[in-house]
Structure 1
Amino acid sequence: MRAIWTGAIGFGLVNIPVKLYSATDSSNLDFDMLDRKDQANIKFKRVNEKTGKEVIWKNIVKGYFLKDHYVLLEDADFEEASPEKSKIIALHAFVQLNDIDSIYFDTPYYLEPQKGGEKAYQLLEKALEKSKTAGLGSFVMRNVEHLAIVKPYKGSLLINKIRYEQEIRSIDELKLPANVKIKKEEMDMALQLIKQHSTAFDISKYKNEYTQDLIKIIHQKDKGKRASIRKINIDDTKASDLLARLKASLA
């Protein structure tokens, strides 16, 4: 793995030097975009809007539109905005993980101690494990400030970016049902159905089956076979059929 950020965790007056690695890999297939006529690759170019000519990467700069003109920003400007946050994951507080709704969780990353930081790293990991808490903090990566939690994970430290409150859309625009009268028998059966299928969470049981099926189709097409489309009709359950469907599910 290649580190995508290096810096330190700020834990009180203790700074723990760390490297940050992506904790996830996409299980989706990587497709190329081709011209149907000759299967040539489609290339995307960075083109000057005025001249229509391609611009090499080193001549591309970032700009912010202010009133009627652009203000150009260099790497040094982003660092100057908050140099300490570009280098330190500052832990501001320690919280219970159960207090953070799952809607706030974003991308996870592994944290690895750099040379000389092993003992402090392990101290923080064990202290979080023992206190059953996570460190809440913030840091800057790729010129963006992220809110994050640092938590113990299988003998290591994991940092999870979390979304800011203003990034969560309101549910007020959803057309949610008003309070519908639910019969006691319906509720009892729904709870019984949940109990019947309750189990311990085991992520290893679940695979990306869609990708596996797609690979099979790719191999079939390579052999000249045409995929057949399975038609599926979803029979929505009407309120009048709810009790009968619950009974059938339990059976």
Structure 2
Amino acid sequence: MRSVWNGSIGFGLVSIPVKLYSASEERGLDLDMLDVHDEAHIKYKRVNEKTGKEVKWKDIVKGYKLDDKYVILEDEDFDNANIKKSKTIDIESFVEDTEVADVLFKKPYFIEPQKESGKSYNLLRNALKKTGKLGVATFVMRQKENLCLIGVYKDVLVLHVIRFSHEIRDAEELNIPKTKVLKKEAEMAESLIEQYTEKFDFKKYKDVYNTQLLKIIKQKSKGKKSKIDKVEDTPTAAKDLMAQLKASLERKNSKAS
């Protein structure tokens, strides 16, 4: 793995030199965009809107439009915006992991100690593991400030980039009905949840969609057409809610026995 960021974690007055590595990767099929008429590849080009000519990467700069005029930014301008945050992940506070809403999480990174920071790295890791807390910090990576949480996964420190509050849309804009739920219905739904509760093992969940899509691609290459299974998705009517909950519980119990 190649590191994507080098710097230090600030833990009080303790400085821990570290490297960040992307902890996740996309595993989709590599599909090309083609012209339907002759299956030629569709290319994306960086074109000057005035001349219509393609522009090389080395000739492209970044600019911000201010008062109808562009201000061109150099690499050093981004670094100088906050030199400290470009090199340091300062833990500002600690929170319980249950206090952070799932909707905030964006991307995880593994944290590796560098140089002679093994002991201080282990100190922070062990303390977080024992207290069950997450460190809250901000830092700059790829010319963008990130809010993050630092926790532990399989004896490795992990940094989770999370969203700032202004990046979350207002849920009040959604039209959520205020339909009353009966006590018996609520109790049965809670019982169903308890019946389906188990220890989380993410290895048992597989990317079935890509596997099926690849199967369709191979069949099409042989001139075969895939059999499509029809899926019915009928909303449960309010009057049938209890019956469906009861049937769900009975099905789960019969599978367990």
TM-score, normalised via structure 2 length? 0.93
CA distance in 1, matches of 2:128, 2:230: 51
Structure 2 spans left out of the alignment, 5+ residues: 251-257
Query: Residue deviations 1:159-192, cap 9 Å, x none?
Result: 00111111111111111111x2323332232222
* Equivalent in the alignment of 1:192: 191
Which shifted more, 103-112 or 33-42? 33-42
Structure 1 spans left out of the alignment, 5+ residues: none
| Distance apart, 1:66 and its partner CA | 0.8
CA distance in 2, matches of 1:173, 1:187: 26
Structure 2 CA distance for partners of 1:193 and 1:132, relative to 1, 3 Å = closer
CA distance in 1, matches of 2:198, 2:41: 47
Root mean square deviation of aligned Cα: 1.4
Query: Residue deviations 1:104-154, cap 9 Å, x none?
Result: 111100011112211111111112112221211111000000011111221
| Distance apart, 1:8 and its partner CA | 1.0
State yes or no: 1:223 paired with 2:222.
yes
* Equivalent in the alignment of 2:87: 87
Structure 2 counterpart of 1:171, one-letter code: A
* Equivalent in the alignment of 1:108: 108
Task: Spell out the pairing of 1:58-69 with structure 2 (5 A cutoff).
Answer: 58-69=58-69
* Equivalent in the alignment of 2:28: 28
* Equivalent in the alignment of 1:117: 117
Task: Spell out the pairing of 1:100-249 with structure 2 (5 A cutoff).
Answer: 100-178=100-178, 180-249=179-248
CA distance in 1, matches of 2:152, 2:248: 40
CA distance in 2, matches of 1:5, 1:48: 32
State yes or no: 1:55 paired with 2:55.
yes
CA distance in 2, matches of 1:247, 1:159: 43
SS of the residue aligned with 1:86?
helix
SS of the residue aligned with 2:184?
helix
CA distance in 2, matches of 1:128, 1:24: 22
CA distance in 2, matches of 1:99, 1:241: 36
Structure 1 runs of 4+ with >6 Å offset: none
% same residue: 52
SS of the residue aligned with 1:159?
strand
SS of the residue aligned with 2:29?
coil
| Distance apart, 1:35 and its partner CA | 2.0
CA distance in 1, matches of 2:93, 2:189: 40
Structure 2 CA distance for partners of 1:99 and 1:184, relative to 1, 3 Å = closer
CA distance in 2, matches of 1:16, 1:203: 31
CA distance in 1, matches of 2:187, 2:139: 48
Query: Residue deviations 1:74-126, cap 9 Å, x none?
Result: 10000111011111111111221111111111110001111221111111111
SS of the residue aligned with 1:78?
helix
- The structure where helix makes up a greater share of residues is 2
